[in-house]
Structure 1
């Protein structure tokens, strides 16, 4: 009888222990909620809370392209606070971008441990363009259904930034102002040169084709707002066909000019 009682008590204790543990589904649901909260505009709301209860108070975390962010306040500030300024001004030139959507392409949950491979769409308002950013994430969820530990790995981040950052042209707003303040206003009959007037001319075009027009307002000026030489501009042969009538096609400009000079002399005589 006693051995049977011990067996029953043991089974009951095991059942209670199992029932008290977080399930894989619960852990995955918490991670899904975390990913949903990472999207704009929810991310700005989470950042405003300063101490988001998405995280355990003593959360431990790391981001491979940066460093460790331990504690609820630090995790909230860095993982969500990055997007606050973008929420206020989506056109701010930022190398971070703003996550607006995601797709989970890999997911494994075992007890309170979850791995997800996520492909986010990050929107860059300054470029009016979205780029896919891939993040692998490991989470440990505690019994209070909060993130206890996290490890975020940005895949192909170097490649992504090689594509994105050069298009931003200026590191920040102050750098942009410093550069532009150093340019001459320019004359409004010279709107194809390295001046503010030229860049003003191209600003309205940015929303149409940012890949084409962004360089025109940037430091390089692209192929539009650049220093030009008067003689080179005048002598440049821009038109492959030209507008010379058929009888004159085979006559060189030098000979044509000479003939006209001679004709003028003959008329004078």
Structure 2
């Protein structure tokens, strides 16, 4: 399973090349959350965010950081259900490392049906450290948005309108709060805009589309049991 997160398999799963998703993903669908990136009850979003955050996707604009290596540091099996507790270390561009702590649930055919995890030091690893870098990120988001979010999906009247909004109306924030109403959250979603504009254009827009919006602490405790789809072995 872990090897499926390495290119080119991760991008093949994202675009379902040759129906490859059926080898890894439950026919019942997929849901989950990876904090602080977000919570995903929608199967498409859940697939994107477990496979696409650091996966290079062919024919789409390049990401600044993509996965280079992956190592399963530790795995623990539940004695009753098809659930694993995993510690996964990923090396990305620039020899930066991320550690994922994630519980994965599988159906009776050992296909992934849900996950619930966290990324250690997401912001410390990737947050820009200067105003120049932050402004460059805002310009990137706005140019991306104006290029791919058009017609009914348009979010801003112009690139300058977008830059003004992201500079003055919302905080820049940190990827350690990557599902809140800030610029950092919109950075995560911007890379998915070309893949699925109908879903992600609203996320990078002024409203945040329900994804990049401020959430109270109770939000994280009032979610459904993502791992409830796990097959009971005994």
Q: Structure 1-normalised TM-score?
A: 0.43
Rg larger for: 1
Q: Structure 2-normalised TM-score?
A: 0.48
Higher-helix-fraction structure: 1
Higher relative contact order (CA 8 A, sep 6+): 2
